[in-house]
Chains A and B, each alone.
Chain A
Amino acid sequence: MSIGYPKVVVASENSTIVYFSERPCRKTSDQIDYTANALKIRLGEELIDLIPSYHSLLVIYDPLKIGFQKIEQEIRDTIGRWKASNQPQQSRIVELPVYYSPESGPDLQRIADHSGLSIDQVIELHQQTEYTVYAMGFAPGFAYLGEVDERIAMPRLATPRHNVPQGAVAIADRQTAIYPSQSPGGWNLVGLCPLGLFNADKRPHSPMQVGDKLRFKSIDRDEFIQLGGSDKKLTGEIT
């Protein structure tokens, strides 16, 4: 554990935020995952919800059942046990198909121009990296993945698009993500994933969860259509 960590800080009358390290890393992700699961078991009904993110975990509890000092003690005890347990966590590896092309990724050219690479090199760098799911938020099923190779890191668009299609794979700085539903967005679009990424009626609701590893696999236009991708998204009929 880095010096001064974990930091346990009050967030609201019924939530406490735990910072595990200065920067996100593999060990931090393991600790967050362990702590979240252990707290669910330890606290039961005293726990209301948990929000894991890059280097932190927000613990939302019922203040009529457990006070903030007790919760801090529970959190510290739990993290202390992780040190003792010394078991490396096995992450799940999820693979998602992506049709990378200028027709499915209208910002590929911008990234190529910005980086001085060819479009093919941009695609290769994006798909050869193994990403970590650091957080989910912004919209249901929207996963923040890191980290993108710094050569293709790209600032957000100055003016966000009104409509980014469902399944769009995108880059913002050193983060990448897939839009689980059509929404406005300012990230740079590099391709389309033909699969559904959030389903409220079906379990699992999302193919990935915080802590998973994720790889993208490049597919061609025919495979995109075969896997259920809509060619209307390619011709701009669905923006």
Chain B
Amino acid sequence: MAEKVGSVLVIGGGIAGIQSSLDLAEMGYYVYLLEGSSAIGGRMVQLDKTFPTNDCAMCIISPKLVEAGRHLNIEVITGGEVLGLGGEVGDYRVRIVRWPRYVDVGRCTGCGECVEVCPVELENEFNGGLDRRRAIYRLYPQAVPNAFSVTKRGTSPCKAACPAETSAQGYIALIAAGRYEEALEVIREYNPFPATVGRVCTHPCEGECSRGRYDGAVAICALKRFVADWVYAHGGGSWGSFSDGVTGRPEARVAVVGSGPAGLSCAHHLVRMGYRVTVFESLPVAGGMMRVGIPAYRLPREVLEREIGMILAEGVELRLGVPVRDIDGLFAEGYSAVFLAIGAHEPQRLGIPGEDALGVYYGVPFLQAVSLGEEVELGSRVVVVGGGNTAVDAARTALRLGAKEVVMVYRRSREEMPANSWEVEEALREGVVLEFLVSPVAVEVRGGRVVGVRCQRMALGEPDESGRRRPYPVVGSEFVIEADAMIAAVAQAPEISFLSPDHGLEVTSRGTFAVDKRTLATNRPGVFVGGDAHRGPGILIEAIADGRRGALSIDRYLRGVPLLTPREEVPLPVVDLAEEEIRELVEGGEVEVGSRVVPRTVPVAERLRDFREVELSLTEEEARREAARCLRCGICSECHLCVRVCKAGAIDHQEAPREEELRVGAIILAPGFSLYPPELSPELGYGRFANVVTSLEFERMLSASGPFGGHVVRPSDGKPPKKVAFLQCVGSRSKDNDYCSSVCCMYATKEAIILKEHDKEVECTLFYMDMRCYGKDFEIYYERAKKDYGIRFIRTRVSRLYEKAKTKNLFLSFVDEDNKVKEEEFDLVVLSIGIVAPKNVQALADKLGISLNDKGFAQGKYFSPLETEKEGVFVCGAFTGPKDIPETVVEASAAAALSASLLYDVRGTKAKTKDYPQERNVENLEPRIGVFICHCGINIGGVVDVPAVKSYAATLPYVVYVEENLYTCSQDTQDKIKKAIEQYDLNRIVVASCSPRTHEPLFMETIREAGLNKYLFEMANIRDQCSWVHMHEPEDATVKAMELVKMTVAKAALLKPLSEPKIEIKKHALIIGGGLAGMESALSLSTQGFSCTIVEKESKLGGQLNNLYYTIDRKNIQDFLNELKEKIYSRPNIEILTETEIKKVEGYLGNFKTTLLKKGEELIREHGVIIVAVGAKESRPKEYLMGDDERVLTQSELEKTLFLSSEYIKKMKSIVMIQCVGSRIPENPNCSRICCLMAIKNAIKIKEISPNTEVYVLYRDIRTYGFYERYYTEARRLGVLFIPYRPEEKPHVFKRDTYLEVSLKDSFSHDDLSIKADLLVLSTAIAPEENEALAKILKVPLTADGYFLEAHMKLRPVDFATEGVFVAGMAHAPKNIPETIIQARAAAARAGATMAKGYITIQGTISEVDPLRCIGCGLCETLCPFNAIRIVETDKGKKSETIMASCKGCGICSSSCPQKAITIRHFTDEELCAQIEALRREAEEAMVKVA
């Protein structure tokens, strides 16, 4: 094996991944926590409450999120994906990609201002699609990392098609929202000529528009023109301030040669960046081709001049009539960079006889002359040669100059014409005659003047290199078109001969400059070329694009950074919407359904009179409707408004995916699960019926942070429902999904209960197949739902829903428990959708080389759950099969234990530690308080007058320094705080900002880094508790903020430094119980490198396993047990004490001292932790003739018989099993969990041994959760008969001479049955051991039915509230073998994490007893929930004493002490009273003022 690496990759950031990561990080490993979405938290954060305690899911998971997010040894990678796996176990190389989130997590402060400006709304998946969110978003308010991210699907086709990369989708979204000024800003980020381009652009974007594939592209160009015209007409459009987040640009001058679109655009962008720019122009006017090449009827001069004027007004220096010949000269004059944009003005001659005659013109010079107002003599008949836009412009211009007949001759056909079709159509409408397949051969000249053009007909041959068919002349087809003038407009070329020949620039064969197409850089550093000068004749927007690209490149060149951004290097793919999707968007009502707008034009008769503009601008109404047609292909429209408002400079749309390789010793896979798509059960009408929702949607509806603020309402009409039905097993236990989703019965019951708590009047009905409440205390919860909440449970599977057309109520018919068909109406139906394997998990499994089961889950082996065939790759959570939160958490810890066992010898080698400077002594120094007041963007600053609070704070006692910050939590502010501490010798720090819950650790860390004790810090929450709740009363909020600051400062003045002592932990564990759980815990700890002692009261190890023989998947349990024992005995660091009991446990976490009794002899063991694994047992109730008749057995007795004497079974004609004997009854209300499985296991075995033996299972609910369902199905296929009975109609057993008679009422058919049984097998309850004594010794609690009670049922399932004590196996609750193994390892993980460091750090905020005041009454000891305070005998009598290692600082002892002898550090009476006093004084002063 290669050298091992002490780090672990955890894939999946749900509760499983988080728990694995926390355990491993605590154990001393470095953890990469890889999550695909933008935040960790997984599914659990979507839940409202959790069963069976009804805790708020967010409240209980939130601290874990924060802990994982801040842990020094957990690196959270969001937007991450695994690409491939290399290396080998212990040293895996995992290639991953980090998908861009476009927001820098390090800089984003989560203020949310970006969301306000984002124009793109989409379905909010987090809320089940019940509401909408923006394209820039945070998954949920408490998200970790607390940073936003941007949803992009790709580059929208319009943006990709635009040479200038204009975010058309962006400005269109803003136009649709009526935000015209901002829309114009978006256009002008790329293009300073929106009104110009909006008139003449050939708009390649529209050619690619996805909507074009449905009913016509969005009229993007017309919208651009509209918004420019609208803003200019309303007095807007002046250039505002500029910021692109770049600071510290160099001072430099740039020369731009040519004032055409490329040159001016370049100059514009550079000037805005802060460079000094000079534009050199050889002509007497600026604008290049825009000014002299485009006729005014298409581009009115005032429009262009306005936009040129605006650019010049920004400070561009323009030198007209100054041709540049020498590039070196420009550098010599002090320009640091040069942009050449000299255009292509040189016409190409036709090369035919007579071209020099009077009356022959060339396209561009002709248009230029007309534009410059020169006299042009055309006569009345004009022939125009060419098929491009210049030719069309020339023809239409000729008409406007008075020509009566204008004929265009073009040598190919209409299809090949390069001119835009709409221009050609306008020309035709205006009367231009088009002659196709005609080519001029000579100009007919008479008297030096043109009198006609001799032409010949052409025919089309084979395609040439342009793909168009090559024309060839038709012999003998010559003819003459009489004409007074000919305008040849076939091509232009750049003219570069005017430059002095030593320019040193590479030139192409076409006579253009050679450049790098992406950067426009030439071979000469600092010289860039754009526009027609490098492309040859192109379209306007290309030239403008080059101007911007040139400016970006010059800026980057001058700053010395790479000329391309990551995203320019690795472009975002262009979105390609499927036809189907486009149709759904339009027909589904997501976008405007109307067809493309047609801009109005001036009638032909009017327009030919002069050069007035032909096409008219859209009206506002037309524009908004047209804009609403946009399909928003890219999702994020890249309008970049978020970039503008982000004061933290955190948003970067130029991010690109980054690949990297992680080196890790082990991998834990916790990708979670997906939900069954209810559309696959169309009979239930989800998606068609408004009032049918999924359980997850309902969960969000219940949640206070959900789409309706916690008010459950019907989606159809927003009214609260009065009758709600929950349908179980949607997508579970069906033909296609032949397993049980394990959690739906409980979550649906919980949802019904919570709904009842919202509104007592609601009637809730749950339609189920079997209620599967098999977890700890779940059955009690179910009973409460029935009895206390009046929730109706009906055992039936609803096959179809009907919607009432008018009321949108749902109508369902079902067979009720009396076997009658009933019909009932409900106004809301909740589908309890099942759990399916996570999406795309097969691809991940393939990359890692692990196999999945037929449903895509990673089911482990029975005796080695969580392990895969790939060594060092472990799995946990719902991915291994549907399960609830506690089991997920247990598996997560167990997976951590497996990793730790693998990497025990490299523990700590990759973990980071942090060194802090020596703490300054502040004792006896006068307080010098620094106050930092946060604007939180506008979260606080928009309501509270922060400067006023700042001045006020400066007047408070001991305050020597006050500062206001935009974001106090940002990294640069942390540096500022540290500097201020040093500069002003501050010794107490107050931050007035948000919640200490999320931010206090950060600030404490900061002052610690500055040499202050971290407890010299105090926080005032002026956001959540002030600006947010008083957002409409800014003045009062300001006063309140002042008061809060005053109180906080008053306390801060009294703060004392607190120490955090370390206590050594003994690295030895005591394991109580030598059954499966105890042995597995011991083995795990041993392989993690910790020694332990197993204490077993019996004479041999194995516990209940000694009574079991085979597993449900037919493995031999005794073989497994023997192997396990061998392993245990072979480990030198495991001590085994059989026939030993616990007598006494002293001490606490880290330093326990336990007295043991082994056959009367006392032994003492010192250890750091305890694992309780005492197990439970099968009970033998006196019921159904048990004990009276030897034909009545328990399931384990049957198992033994089946295993040892199959011949005996073959004689049996009929065997009856009765379930729930002693379980689920008032005396023992819980479910014993394993009996259904055991019965089915044994029933299958009977059928295997003796197929003709009849087997009857009399049951209440069959609880084969998860994939165990398949065994239930198998048993039925084998002919095992399952007959349900009701608890109030229990079966009766009668002893007959040759058989036992079992009589019962079948609760489905209501038939009375009588069965002759040769054997009666009772599935008797699992009963806990006599745990009271041990619980007392350990000072840990028991449940009402006598099992050990963990610290928290959901998130601390193997811990006790008492530190250092853990629980595993059936001591916790009934469970089967794999579950026990997993839990044992989890307990070993938690115990290992506790011992790994070798010490524990005691927090500063703990209780402290004043022995002089203490009277030893013991009240505190009784009340402490953590067993962290105790009474000790001293020479002054009984006194209370804090056990520092266990104290959590909750304050119960302090507040209850009658003598006021107990203080909680950092929350002393003195400090709290000072706060109150400060507030009182404030109030009194206010009263005085009023008086």
Judge: A and B partners, yes or no: no
**Which B positions have Cβ atoms within 8 angstroms of A?**
none
Residues of A within 8 A of B (CB): none
